[in-house]
Amino acid sequence: MTFREKLKSNKFLITAELMPPKGVDILPLTKKLKYLTNVDAINITDNQRASMRASSVAISKIIIDHGLTPILQLVTRDKNRIALQSDLLGANILGIENVLLLSGDHTNTSEYYNAKAIYDLDTIQFIKTARLLETGIDLVGKKLYGSPKFCIGAVTNPAAIPQELQILMFKKKVIAGVEYFQTQAIFDVNTYKTFFMKIKSLNRKVLPGLIVIKSVKFMKFIQTLPGINIPQYIQDKIYFSQDPLAEGKRICSSMIKELRSFADGVHIMAIGTEEHIPDIINDSF
């Protein structure tokens, strides 16, 4: 069953996420794949947090070669509309159909603060561009010799304030051609449920993002990321735990149990602790 077919089913979907290596040694990444055989798809990030890494297109092809399903992330930050179209076509030639299209974190947040951010297309324009390519023409109306096919996803942030703006952007992305959404990391199920009930009628699968907290230091770091808010009671659990990773796993499993009663699935971001994903899933069902 393809990822698109799963989106149309009643299955509670589980996706995970991997970052390409910072270099050409892919062995550490491929070793992690044995822990992800039971997820429905694996996101491959595109220079996440504006930090240079290997091509997400190349790593997505490696995921396919290992018999698993990738979701290729592509950001508009680093390339103009010519290169973005080229990447979409190249990815499809390699058998990559599932894409997640987003703008990407600005370079001023990373060690590449002096790199020029492009943003030639915004996210809505990028989504429309992918759909245009499917019709057999490019952005200047030239004919393609063979048309790609994509299952297009986008991101949303249920905890953003004002929430109404996120809902407006959600609707615009649906109109542009998005088939599914993944969210910024959430730590409050009730906040997500409020958001979910407001967009449920738009009939798109939404997978709330869950980060596995592995240490106090890691928790402090993710609190600095835009759009992430960790409730005090969760912070206290991590601060006062003798085993923060074990507590982080319990928090993640507990949230999945709550979400299963109404949500479409989850997107697990284990970030260096992927070997614990099977335990988290098993403890959630």
pLDDT per residue as tens digits for the range 37-86: 999 999 999 999 999 999 999 999 999 999 999 999 999 999 999 999 99
**In this structure, are residues 124 and 130 in contact, taking their beta carbons and an 8 Å threshold?**
no
pLDDT exceeds 90 at position 172: yes
Which pLDDT does position 272 carry in this prediction? 93
| pLDDT score, position 213 | 97
Q: Which two tokens stand for residue 49?
A: 């947090």
Least confident of 29-38, 223-232, 233-242: 223-232
pLDDT of 161: 87
What pLDDT was estimated at residue 269?
97
Residue 203: per-residue pLDDT: 96
> Over pLDDT 90: what percentage of the chain?
94
The average pLDDT across 259-263 equals 97
pLDDT at 225 over 90: no
HSE, side-chain direction, 13 A CA sphere, residue 275: 7
Question: Which CATH number belongs to the domain containing residue 11 in this structure?
Answer: 3.20.20.220
Is residue 22 pLDDT above 90, yes or no? yes
Mean pLDDT in residue range 213-237 = 92
DSSP state of 21: P
Q: Which domain holds residue 157?
A: 3-282
What gap in Å lies between CA 165 and CA 252, rounded to an integer? 27
> Residue 226: pLDDT above 90?
no
Rounded Cα distance between 107 and 76, Å, is: 12
| 182 φ, ψ (degrees, to nearest 5) | -120, 150
R_g over Cα of the chain: 18
| Per-residue CA distances from 87 to 20, 219, 227 (Å) | 16, 34, 28
C-alpha to C-alpha distance for 76 and 130, rounded to whole angstroms: 12
User: Cis ω on the peptide bond leading into residue 158 (within 30° of 0)?
Assistant: no
Token code pair at residue 103: 């703008």
Give the pLDDT confidence of 27-49 residue by residue, as tens digits: 999 999 999 999 999 999 999 99
Would you say residue 109 has pLDDT above 90?
no
Give the model's pLDDT for residue 111. Answer: 93
Considering the entire predicted model, what is its pTM? 0.96
**Secondary structure class of 277 (helix, strand, coil):** helix
- Number of structural domains (the chain) is 1
pLDDT of residue 122: 97
